[in-house]
Amino acid sequence: MEDFGLEREHREFRDAFRRFVTAKIAPLAEAGEREHRFPREVYQVLRDGGFLAVNFPEAVGGGGADLLTACIYYEELTRAAAGVSAGVFAHHHLAAGPVLRIGTEEQQREFLVPALRGERIGAFGLTEPDAGSDIRGIKTTARRNGGDWVLNGSKLYITNGGIADFMVVAARTGAGRSGDALSLFLVDTATPGVSARDLVKVGNHSSSTSFVSLEDVRVPARRVLGQVGQGLRQLKETLTEGRILVANRGLGLAQEAYELILRYAGERHAFGKPIGSFQAVAFKIADMAARVDAVRLMIYRAARLRMAERECIREASMAKYLASETAVRVTGEALLLHGGAGYMEEMKVARLYRDAPEAWIGEGTNEIQLNVIARTLGLL
């Protein structure tokens, strides 16, 4: 693989983590895929290998690495299994990330530190049956009751929802669709009134995805995350960097599918020659190579802008959009070029093909990304 302008420490991390994932994570991921469950032991294995919370500050127990390292991290983890990387992403970025940025010292001691040790698993309760991309349409409510808040509502398609020990929950604390109507809460899932039901998905079988119900859930005032009424702004901060990171999941699927078909095209023979020697096959694989490299460059551009504290909303959406489109296109082409073998469950390319469409949806649909891009161009 080319270096794409990576520093030596990035390249060394990539090589070391790739070996670690192949040896330690891939077998767990394969078991999780077969059994349709998230292998919770992944967190302990990552922690013992020094690969848990790599881009969190050392002061709170993280590895102190930068955003580019995190990009590499999610690409390599996804190549083992997109489901496992979805669970780790939701735990790290969506649940622990907001606690790091806006949590109090008490909240960080109670939730962040054990999360970064893999002792408490986190989830992010945003999407609802009638509200996903439309964040202002959230219907879950939080009402003051003495010194507590009482939450009522439901959340849908929540990654880690069935295994989480805590959730960052977005709830309505004001009326209407104004920007100050939403707030974030840290909810211990052992609290009475919290229940979860696992959902059956097309792909990403090694992740837990659930419907979560909140019925008269009492949350102490000390567990309001950030300021009351600032939830929308805080969510937008989470989603911008999240789109850069989640783009690497699409990239990982495409990279793995590309490498599988490149190898297969040299091994599989037809009419006395490797199938890769036929122009119809060779051109398709060449197209994959170009698209995968272009996506990686776009992601790294967005990451570098973010690291330099420059505006990157458009670049983040471009990265997520291009990565998801490439994931679906490349995995589909790779499956077809494998012929009948590609349609067999025992072939990894079949799993990649099933997993890829989720890249169109998570962290905002592609239509949302195009809307964001168009707005930054002054078109909408």
Residue positions annotated with a catalytic role: 363
Long-range contacts of 113-119 (CB under 8 A, 24+ apart): 113/60, 113/61, 115/91, 115/166, 116/52, 116/53, 116/56, 116/60, 116/61, 116/62, 117/47, 117/52, 117/61, 118/43, 118/44, 118/46, 118/47, 118/52
Q: Are strands 182-188 and 269-270 parallel, antiparallel or unpaired?
A: unpaired
- Give the number of other Cβ atoms within 10 Å of residue 77's Cβ: 29
Write b or e for each residue in 340-349: b if 16 or more Cβ atoms lie within 10 A of its Cβ, otherwise e.
eebeeeebbb
CB of 21 closer than 8 Å to CB of 37 = no
Say how many Å lie between the first and final Cα of the chain, rounded. Answer: 39
CA angle 318, 324, 326 (to 5 degrees): 100
Residues contacting 348, CB < 8 A, separation 6+: 256, 260
90, 160 contact by CB (below 8 A) = yes
Note the maximum CA span of the chain.
80
How far is the C-alpha of 306 from the C-alpha of 284, rounded, in Å?
Answer: 33
- Tell me whether residue 151 is exposed, middle or buried, using C-beta atoms within 10 angstroms of its C-beta: 0 to 12, 13 to 18, 19 or more: buried
Residues pairing with 158 in the sheet: 210
